[in-house]
Structure formats: structure tokens, C-alpha cells
A and B are shown apart, each in its own frame.
Chain A
Amino acid sequence: EVQLLESEGGLVQPGGSLRLSCAASGFTFSSYAMNWVRQAPGKGLEWVSGIRISGSRTYYADSVKGRFTISRDDSKSTLYLQVSSLRVDDTAVYYCARALVGATLHAFDMWGPGTMVTVST
């Protein structure tokens, strides 16, 4: 089955860290750029980060630059997002999303079910 599946998120204290992973199956993971998109409770979608094929380039929203790191392991068909220096406003459902063939940032044709990250004391 063609799918993306994020790891379990969790409750983290402000200033804390967490590593999210996204396991891909059913398609050639190494042939696609990948992204993370988040959605705060009751709010809209926010692009967080993207990574090109082979990890040659990485991109970040200003709101997470310097705090989050995206990476990929094509041998494991897995995407990662290391989130650090977490703030309360980072609380959101985090989705991994596959970019269209030939694209990196502008259209996402497959999404995982999402994982909830809650930043709170």
C-alpha cells in the first residue's frame, strides 16, 4: 500500500526537543522531494520545511529556521524532523507530505495522517 506514516508525537515542555519521523512505503521514496506541514488546533495549514531528492537542499519557514532540522534516510525510506527549542506556538498536528514528481515545494500529492505535538508545561 502506498502510504506515509508519521511517528507518535507527544507532550514536550517549552524549550524541549523531539524527533519526528515519517515512514514511506509503496513507492520509490528516493525519487521524491518531501515536506513537513503543520496545523495548530482549529487553525489553517502552515508549511514548515522541505527537502530535495537526495537531501541536496533543505528549506525552512522563517518561523522555524534555526530550531528545526529536516533530513532523510533513503535507505530506510524515512523522513525526519528534529524539532528543538520548542515554543507553545509550535503546538500542532505535523504532517509529512510528498511533493509532486519534479516539484519540491509547490504541490503535495500524498500526506500522512499526521502526528500531534503539544508544547506545554
Chain B
Amino acid sequence: QSALTQPPSASGSPGQSVTISCTGTSSDVGTYNFVSWYQQHPGKAPKLMIYEVSKRPSGVPDRFSGSKSGNTASLTVSGLQAEDETDYYCSSYAGSNNLVFGGGTKLTVL
């Protein structure tokens, strides 16, 4: 199963919004509403930010939102803050009891 495609990097200024894309295929993102997004600071475990395309776990700021169109899912971070600068990964259920991750995007707050 091929990994999902994410841009290696993204950036935005404090207070602005930035969107990170996650492109899969009709076998994963396009078929299943089981897309998740994780935030990972260096040397730390990932943290779930979005699940089932657009749902936020308790405690995740509403500045983080998710959406999907066709084979591409997106994570939008609004009102960028310095602490948002880190790595983000998407994942999608891919059928046949398989899960695939994206390659990761490094978000820089300018």
C-alpha cells in the first residue's frame, strides 16, 4: 500500500491560516471517511488532532479543522501560533484491514 502524499513543508505567519493537503486514492481517502491528522513535536509521540475527517478530540483547539474532497483530505490551522510549528501526519484507512500514513509535513510559523 503506497503512502499518502503530503507536501514536505508549509508555512504561514502568526495569526494567518495554513492548509496542509493529504492526497490518496480511491482505495483509501476517496472511499473511507477514516482520515486522521496527528501533530508530532521532535522526540515526542504523535498527538491525535483530527479523526474521521473533521472531528476534534476533546482538548484540541478549534483552530484545527479537517475536510475532504475526493481523494484529498486537508488540515487547516487558523490563527497560527508559534507552538503550532512542528510536523503533521495524515492517515487513512485503506481497506483490507490496512492503514496508511502520509509522509509528513513540516509546518513553519514565520
Contacts and interface: CB of A to CB of B under 8 A. Distances in A.
Interface of A: 37, 44-47, 50, 57, 59, 61-62, 95, 100, 105-109, 111-114
A64 to B, nearest CB: 12
Given A47-B91, A59-B97, A62-B1, A107 B48 contact: yes
Interface residues of B, number: 27
Contacts of B97: 50, 57, 59, 105
A106 B51 contact: yes
Given A44-B3, A45-B46, A106 B34 contact: yes
A62 B45 CA distance: 23
7 contacts: A37-B46, A44-B103, A59-B97, A100-B51, A105-B34, A107-B34, A113-B44
Contacts of B36: 106-108
Given A44-B104, A109-B57, A95 B3 contact: no
Nearest to B100: A47
B100 A107 contact: no
Interface in B2-49: 3, 32, 34, 36, 38, 40, 44-48
